[in-house]
Amino acid sequence: MRTQVVIIGSGPAGLLLGQLLAGIGVDTIILERSTRDHVLARVRAGVLEQGTVDLLEQAGVARRLRAEGLPHHGISLAFDNRLHRLDLSALTDGKHVTVYGQTEVTRDLMEAREAGGLATCFEVTNVAPAGFDGSSPFVSFDHGGASHRIDCDYIAGCDGFHGVSRQAAPAGALKTYERRYPFGWLGVLAEVPPADAELVYANHARGFALCSMRSPTRSRYYVQCPIDDRVEDWSDQRFWDELRRRLPETVTDAVTTGPSFEKSIAPLRSFVAEPMRFGKLFLAGDAAHIVPPTGAKGLNLAASDVRYLFEAFRDHYAEGSSAGLDAYSQRALSRVWKAVRFSWWMTTMLHRFPDTDDFGQRIQEAELDYLVHSRAASAALAENYVGLPV
Ligand code: FAS
Ligand code: PHB
């Protein structure tokens, strides 16, 4: 078999890259370890920057997003039993974010790929990128009881944090940076109306909480939890009680409880691998970097990587130029590190750390109090939250 670009991973990064390349006639094959249903069942991100929305429009997959996505012009910060709204649009000359679940983004992309008759191989094993340090890259893998090989021009490693692409980097060629956080996020989905029309990020001495949503009737909530907690440690009742303890009374009174239909715990880490290119192998999305979800950047960073990589492939195939390919890693990492910093800052300001004593709690509250009363500080948060220019 032969194709122009083999994409490893059928998550948002791989699917979006495949859709954009299809739009300019570049052939791809996506190799995916999981089943189609498993990929579509994942519940993850919920907030899209405008740059991500624009890219989904460009990929021709934004019809449902336009109909069902919720434009949000503000977020609220809660601390010391107070609630402060940040008017994102007023602080960023009219920009906003869109609330639309990653699950829906993945479904829209996957259905568009299938409608276009484009090839995705699910449930593959032993995927191995090779030859990418020379002129004949290929990917070998097992599927359906047989071994296969796809020769290609380029390999896009879009296989997430636990994938094989980053592991395939030549020995000594990779520099990694990591910060693991001593807590996780317990998230639930429930068919109940959201407590607030916009997102609420809450700092509390008991720990962080986040009120989000998927629709006017479906809420997404998170509470910070100990890193070694298990989902079975958290009954719905315990979750609702803990969430309400961490919110200002005005928000607590608006929380509608109900049975959760999804409950999971995600660990939090900051991670960056440099560079994001090894010859004909390019890393994009979580394969190259991870951010704590506090800044709502993970999915959006995957999208900006894909934008840069797509533009580089486009210039290569259309004009024979390698400039975009040569600049990809540096261009992507420049934006990645700014998002990593913002996500780290939001996490540090809003979460209870093991060494956060009474003094530390008051310092966090003072930082938040300064932030919500300073236009300069609020604008700095807002311009990062809506997404820095791509
Ligand atoms: P993904 O991990 O989504 O996709 C990678 C794909 O590659 C997967 O389908 C995987 O099965 C496949 N794969 C892996 N190894 C393979 C192999 N060897 N061969 C073939 N295929 C392979 N971001 C936010 O902005 N907000 C959030 O609230 C948020 N919550 C999250 C919760 C969790 C539990 C996780 C894990 C992430 C969360 N994220 C969040 C980040 C998340 O949204 C990612 O940024 C986003 O999924 C990145 O997309 P991809 O880079 O496509 O990686
Ligand atoms: C979500 O809705 O899942 C969500 C929203 C904002 C975040 C993280 C997660 O910062």
E-strand stretches of the chain: 5-8, 28-31, 47-48, 70-72, 74-79, 82-87, 97-99, 119-121, 125-130, 138-143, 146-151, 154-157, 175-190, 199-202, 209-215, 218-226, 260-274, 277-278, 281-283, 289-290
The atom of ligand 1 lying closest to the CA of 301 is 45
Ligand 1-lining residues (CB < 6 angstroms): 8-14, 31-34, 39, 44-46, 102, 124, 127, 158-160, 162-164, 266, 285-286, 293, 296-299, 302
Tell me which residue has its CA closest to atom 3 in ligand 1: 11
2: which DSSP letter? B
CB atoms within 10 A of CB 4: 16
CB atoms within 10 A of CB 185: 21
Query: For residue range 49-61, what is the model confidence (pLDDT) as tens digits?
Result: 999 999 999 999 9
209 in Cβ contact with 84 (< 8 Å): no
> 99-130 as b/e, with b when 16 or more CB fall inside 10 Å?
bbbbbbbbbbbbebbeeeebebbbebeebebe
Q: Which ligand is nearest to the CA of 339?
A: 1
Backbone torsion region of residue 71, taken as left when φ is above 0, otherwise alpha when ψ lies between -120 and 50, otherwise beta: beta
For ligand 2, the distance from its centroid to the CA atom of residue 333, given in whole angstroms, is: 23
Tell me which residue has its CA closest to atom 51 in ligand 1: 285
Q: What does pLDDT average to over the chain?
A: 98
What is the percentage of the chain residues whose pLDDT exceeds 90? 99
Q: How much is the pLDDT for 95?
A: 98
Q: Which amino acid is at 317?
A: Y
Sheet arrangement for strand 199-202: 82-87, 74-79, 199-202, 209-215, 218-226, 175-190, 260-274, 289-290
pLDDT mean over 328-332: 98
Question: Does 47 sit in the ligand 2 pocket, CB within 6 Å?
Answer: yes
Helices 323-350 + 298-319 axis angle, to 10:
170
For ligand 2, the distance from its centroid to the CA atom of residue 277, given in whole angstroms, is: 29
Tell me which residue has its CA closest to atom 7 in ligand 2: 296
Q: Where are the domains of the chain?
A: 5-70+98-178+269-346, 181-267+353-386
Question: Does 293 sit in the ligand 2 pocket, CB within 6 Å?
Answer: yes
Q: Which ligand is nearest to the CA of 32?
A: 1
Tell me which residue has its CA closest to atom 10 in ligand 2: 296
Q: How much is the pLDDT for 143?
A: 98
d(CA 332, CA 255): 39
For ligand 2, the distance from its centroid to the CA atom of residue 99, given in whole angstroms, is: 9
d(CA 326, CA 308): 11
Which of 222, 290, 350 has most ligand 2 atoms within 8 Å of CB, for mutation?
A: 222
Q: How much is the pLDDT for 132?
A: 98
Q: Choose the catalytic residue: 12, 72, 181, 280.
A: 72
pLDDT mean over 61-78: 98
Q: How much is the pLDDT for 360?
A: 97
Question: Does 103 sit in the ligand 2 pocket, CB within 6 Å?
Answer: no
For ligand 1, the distance from its centroid to the CA atom of residue 84, given in whole angstroms, is: 32
202 in Cβ contact with 208 (< 8 Å): yes
Q: Which ligand is nearest to the CA of 185?
A: 1
Q: What are 271's two structure tokens?
A: 């991670």
HSE-CB of 232 using CA atoms within 13 angstroms? 0
Query: Does 385 qualify as catalytic in the annotation?
Result: yes
79 in Cβ contact with 365 (< 8 Å): yes
Q: Which CATH superfamily is domain 181-267+353-386 in?
A: D-Amino Acid Oxidase, subunit A, domain 2 (3.30.9.10)
Query: For residue range 237-296, what is the model confidence (pLDDT) as tens digits?
Result: 999 999 999 999 999 999 999 999 999 999 999 999 999 999 999 999 999 999 999 999
d(CA 39, CA 70): 23
Query: Does 201 qualify as catalytic in the annotation?
Result: yes
Please tell me if the domain spanning 5-70+98-178+269-346 has the same topology as the one spanning 181-267+353-386: no
Q: How much is the pLDDT for 77?
A: 98
Name the burial class of residue 37, with classes exposed (0-12), middle (13-18) and buried (19+) by CB atoms within 10 angstroms of its CB: exposed
Tell me which residue has its CA closest to atom 37 in ligand 1: 44
Q: Choose the catalytic residue: 100, 154, 201, 308.
A: 201
Helix, strand, coil percentages for the chain (3-state, nearest 5): 40, 30, 30
Q: How much is the pLDDT for 172?
A: 96
HSE-CB of 136 using CA atoms within 13 angstroms? 2
Q: How much is the pLDDT for 321?
A: 97
Q: Choose the catalytic residue: 12, 129, 293, 308.
A: 293
Range 5-70+98-178+269-346 classified under CATH 3.40.640.10: no
Query: Does 72 qualify as catalytic in the annotation?
Result: yes
CB atoms within 10 A of CB 22: 18
Considering the entire predicted model, what is its pTM? 0.97
Query: For residue range 181-239, what is the model confidence (pLDDT) as tens digits?
Result: 999 999 999 999 999 999 999 999 999 999 999 999 999 999 999 999 999 999 999 99
Helices 50-58 + 12-22 axis angle, to 10:
40
Q: Which ligand is nearest to the CA of 342?
A: 2
pLDDT mean over 97-106: 97
d(CA 312, CA 328): 7
Q: How much is the pLDDT for 261?
A: 96
For ligand 2, the distance from its centroid to the CA atom of residue 87, given in whole angstroms, is: 18
Radius of gyration of the chain (CA): 21
345 contact partners, CB below 8 Å, separation of at least 6? 295
